[in-house]
Amino acid sequence: MPKKMTKVEESIHEQSEKINKVKKIVKERSSAIDNSQIIPENISDEKWKEKEFSKPNNTVRIGTVFSGIGAIEHAFQRLKIKHKIIFAGDIDDKCKKSYFANYDIADEDWFTDVREFDAKKYKGKVDFVVGGAPCQAFSMVGKRLGFEDARGTLFYDFARIIKETEPKLFLFENVKGLINHDEGRTWHVIHDIFEELGYDVHFRILNSRDYGIPQNRERVFCIGFKNKTEMRFPSPIELEYKMYDFLEDYIDTKYFLREKGIKFVTSSKNREKSYTQVNGDVALCQKRNQQFNWHGDFIFHPVLENEEFEESFDEFIFDVKDVEEKYYLSDKVAKYVLAGGTKNFKTSTETDLDVARPLLQTMHKMHRAGVDNYVTHKGRIRKLTPRECLRLMGFKDSFKIVVSDTAMYQQSGNSIVVDVLIAILKQIDITKYGENYEN
The residue ranges of every structural domain in the chain are 7-239+416-433, 243-387
Chain CA centroid to CA 161, Å? 25
Please write the tens of the pLDDT for every residue from 178-208. Answer: 888 777 777 888 888 888 889 999 999 999 9
pLDDT: which is higher, 17 or 143: 17
H or E, element range at 219: strand 218-225
pLDDT at 268: 79
- Enumerate long-range contacts of 22-25, CB under 8 Å, 24 or more apart: 22/147, 22/153, 22/156, 23/147, 23/148, 23/153
Pair 68, 90: CB distance under 8 Å: yes
For the ranges 152-166, 210-224, 412-426, the lowest mean pLDDT is seen at 152-166
Q: Does residue 385 surpass a pLDDT of 70?
A: yes
Pair 379, 302: CB distance under 8 Å: yes
H or E, element range at 302: strand 296-302
| CATH of region 7-239+416-433 | 3.40.50.150
pLDDT at 354: 44
pLDDT at 342: 42
pLDDT at 373: 38
Which one-letter amino acid corresponds to residue 299? Answer: I
Q: Does residue 123 surpass a pLDDT of 80?
A: yes
pLDDT at 191: 87
Cα 165 to Cα 111: distance, rounded to the nearest angstrom: 15
pLDDT at 132: 83
Inter-axis angle of helices 418-428 and 71-79, to 10 degrees?
60
pLDDT at 149: 41
Which one-letter amino acid corresponds to residue 130? Answer: V
H or E, element range at 264: helix 259-265
Percent of the chain with pLDDT over 70: 71
Active site residues: 135
pLDDT at 321: 62
Strand pairing category for 276-278 and 200-207: unpaired
Chain CA centroid to CA 327, Å? 32
Cα 105 to Cα 84: distance, rounded to the nearest angstrom: 8
Q: Does residue 83 surpass a pLDDT of 90?
A: yes
pLDDT: which is higher, 157 or 137: 157
pLDDT at 295: 84
Cα 204 to Cα 207: distance, rounded to the nearest angstrom: 10
Cα-trace Rg, the chain: 25
Please write the tens of the pLDDT for every residue from 224-255. Answer: 999 999 999 999 999 999 998 999 988 888 89
The residue among 273, 297, 294 whose CA lies nearest residue 284 is 297
Cα 136 to Cα 149: distance, rounded to the nearest angstrom: 9
